[in-house]
Every structure is written in structure tokens, then in C-alpha cells.
Amino acid sequence: MIDWPLAELLPHAGDMILIDQVLSFDEEQIHTRLTVRPDGLFNREDGSLPAWVGIELMAQSVAAYAGCHARDEGRPVELGFLLGTRKFDCNVERFPAGSELTIHALRTLEDDNGMGVFECHLTGPDIHATARLNVFRPPQAAAYLSESQESS
């Protein structure tokens, strides 16, 4: 189990941090977990999370993967972008409040330009979701963002 605060691993703040803990990580993968809280930003009236939020849970796990590596190497955590997902499949429409969910993200591709692909699995009690996430972590993200604003 990793004891680093998630706020130091993710470029998110406050209620936007949806995962609870990094269980483990290595060069190619990360395992995270969360308990579905009934009062989150995306919850339905019954306290459940819509299944589509699983994509964000997977994306935050990938961001935590990058954050763990940055922290491990003494680098600052930088912004990354979810470009899209392919083949999102989930066997339920919602994740009930109180459900313990685990996410496994496996890096299958990452190039020197910051493009990456992760195979992700989210599991819980009678819950199974999978997706392939395409992500982009530009080298020197602050410079990348200022270039994008200047060209607008």
C-alpha cells in the first residue's frame, strides 16, 4: 500500500479526487481502490455512481500512475489529458453506494511525445468494467498550455 497523499499525486483538487488509495504500482501498472461515497459530485439521488464515471476512475488511476512515477523520480506532478476511450464495457448501470471498487491500469504503449495507452479494469461486488484509455502527457505541460492559449 502506498501512503502518499493523493492530492500530491493527482493534478486534481478537493471533491474531484474520486479514488481513495494507491494500492501498488510498478513500471507498467497501477492498482487503486475506492469506496463509493453517497455524497460525491457525480452521485445519483440514491447515492450510487453512474457506470460511466468508471472512465473517470480509470483516468484518475492512470494519472496516479504518472504521479507515483514523478514523485518516485523527484519530479513535479504534471497535467495529463484523457484523449478518449475505446471499448468501454460495464456489466452494470451504476455502482451502489458503499461498494468497494478496485482499478487496475496497465500501460501498453507510451512514446517520447507523451502519448500513451492503458488497458483498464474496474472490479467490485458483481461489477466488472473494462476500457482502453488513450492519454496524452505533454513534455513541459505548462509550456504546452501557454502555446495553446496563444494560438487561440
pLDDT at 97: 97
Query: What are the extents of the domains in the chain?
Result: 6-150
| pLDDT value at residue 139 | 78
Q: Collapsing DSSP states into helix, strand and coil, what is residue 38? A: coil
Q: Which CATH superfamily is domain 6-150 in?
A: Hotdog Thioesterase (3.10.129.10)
Could you report the per-residue pLDDT of 77-94, keeping only the tens digit for each? Answer: 888 999 999 889 999 999
Q: Are 59 and 132 in contact (CB under 8 A)?
A: no
What burial letters (b/e) apply to 46-83, b meaning 16+ CB within 10 Å? ebbbebebbbbbbbbbbbbbbbbbbeeeeeebbebebe
Q: Grid coordinates in use for 117?
A: 495507452
Predicted confidence (pLDDT) per residue in 25-69, tens digit: 999 999 999 999 999 899 999 999 999 999 999 999 999 999 999
Q: pLDDT digits over 105-146, tens only?
A: 999 998 988 899 999 999 999 999 999 999 998 876 656 556
pTM of the model: 0.91
The residue behind cell 473494462 is 130
